[in-house]
Amino acid sequence: MNDTQLSSPGATAAPLEDRRVLLGVCGGIAAYKSAELTRALVREGARVQVVMTEAATRLVQPLTFEVLSTRPVACDMWQTAPGTRIQHTDHGRQSDLIIIAPATANTIGRIAGGLADNLLTSLVMASRTPVLLAPAMNVEMWSNPLVQENLARLTNLARYHVVPPESGELACGVDGAGRLAPIDQIMDDARRLLSPQDLAGRFVLVTAGPTYEPFDPVRFVGNHSTGLMGYALAAAAQLRGARVVLISGPTALNPPRGVEVVSVTTAIEMRAEVMTRLAEADMLAMVAAVSDYRPTARATAKIHKTSGDKEIRLALNPDILAEVGSLETRPLTLGFAAETEDVVAAAHRKRAAKNVDFLFGNLVGGGRGGFACRKNSGVLVDRSGTQESFPLVDKAELAHALLDRLAPRLATRTPEEVT
């Protein structure tokens, strides 16, 4: 088998890719931060339609949003572009998600009160699209019981979600709660609201990064894995509703939001952490580049230079994935293999040898993604011998595409797959 025999390229699905997001900007000083939010949404492939209240246009020029979203900004309920229908019904109905950032006390109150007296409140009223509110206001306004009651009224309805403001220095000079939530957090909530919840109620175990196998207190045997693919997979599973534990070798990455990270250094430590949690897990994704060998001896003091060559004797590490594959009952398993040649053959061979449900093989080096870069491509093989190729895409996008294939299998596993 070789790369030319692959089935058609796999569909990929990042949560915001090609999704229609309506971004409502209200008249709070944090309106300038919505420009950054627009950029972040566009960067992830969303089609952003900005709607500004009249007050917002006094703080930021619509032109700013027009340039960033590459679409005319809608502000006026009474103005329709030639050939279009009524804005307040079209924009809302045509969106996959409405984000209101900043959401002022005024707009929150109007929506909660069932008012539709400007373009933004009208289009919220005239659609069933999920709404993510990112409030930002003065601390006294935020703690005002009426604002809290209005928010509670909205969040009692399944359609409304709130990303709460954070505490810090406010534009009015005082310290307190009311600052617009960080853009990263708003983006994360937007991704979650646009992700299928096909892993809700599931427990997913992911390993990531390299393992370091020390032979003295300052040196180790390791590899170039950065952990990006494993972290992306853990984040994607969490967005899709799973409880996720990420067992991570040494990396420089921030823990994905909502994911419990267990830090390990060696393969033996990683094995212990995986085995402790395996019985509860619905899915195990072994993305870690586990070191196959460890030095047989570990000096307690630094080994100093002497004349002549030195040898390090290596002992075989446990193969965690193969051990899981040999268990009587096991979760749905996904292995990874980074190869420099014959990736398809290697993927089939390793999947069978380790008795894994799925194995994703990717070529490393030569501009094909993989180690230490944000993109990856490769081939996914499964028990039935099916193979599917995935084009070079961002690792977050690839993580969702892989979960698109795996999640449905959780419900349909045959007894032979489970045991």
Q: Which parts of this chain interact with ligand CTP (CB under 6 A)?
A: 267, 286, 288, 290, 292, 317, 319-321, 335-337, 350
Give me 155's structure tokens. Answer: 């969040």
What is the closest distance, in whole angstroms, from the C-beta atom of residue 319 to ligand CTP in the complex? 4
- Alpha helices for 133-265 (secondary structure H): 139-143, 145-155, 183-193, 228-239
Helices marked H in 83-227 — which ranges? 87-93, 105-112, 119-125, 139-143, 145-155, 183-193
Residue 110 in contact with residue 117, Cβ under 8 Å?
yes
Euclidean distance between CA atoms 142 and 103, whole angstroms: 11
Q: Least distance (Å) from ligand CTP to the CB of residue 203?
A: 19
The residues annotated as belonging to the active site are 172
Report, in Å, the least distance between residue 228 CB and ligand CTP. 15
Helix (H) or strand (E) holding 161: strand 160-162
Count of CB atoms within 10 A of residue 78's CB?
8
Q: Least Å distance between CB 37 and ligand CTP? A: 36
Contact 99, 129 (CB under 8 A): no
Complex with ligand CTP: residue 37 or 284, whichever CB lies closer: 284
Residue 369: alpha-carbon gap to chain centroid: 19
Nearest CA to 409 out of 252, 303, 285 is that of 285
Q: At which residue do the structure tokens 């979960």 appear?
A: 403
CB closer to ligand CTP, 161 vs 271 = 271
Token digits for 404? 């698109």
Cβ proximity to ligand CTP, 74 vs 286, nearer residue: 286
Nearer residue to ligand CTP within complex by CB, 165 or 249: 249
Distances (CA, A) of 79 to 62, 87, 121: 15, 8, 16
Least distance from ligand CTP to the Cβ atom of residue 205, Å: 12
Q: Which is nearer to ligand CTP, 160 or 358 (CB)?
A: 358
Q: How far is the CB of 290 from ligand CTP (least distance, A)?
A: 4
At its nearest, how many Å lie between ligand CTP and the CB of residue 346? Answer: 7
Residue positions counted in the chain: 419
Cβ proximity to ligand CTP: between 87 and 251 the closer is 251
Sequence letter at residue 274 = V
Contact 119, 163 (CB under 8 A): no
CB closer to ligand CTP, 134 vs 356:
356
Contacts 24+ apart (CB under 8 A), 310-317: 312/215, 312/221, 314/221, 316/292, 317/211, 317/213, 317/267, 317/268, 317/290, 317/291, 317/292, 317/293
| Dihedral of the alpha carbons of 247, 250, 256, 260, in degrees to the nearest 10 | 30
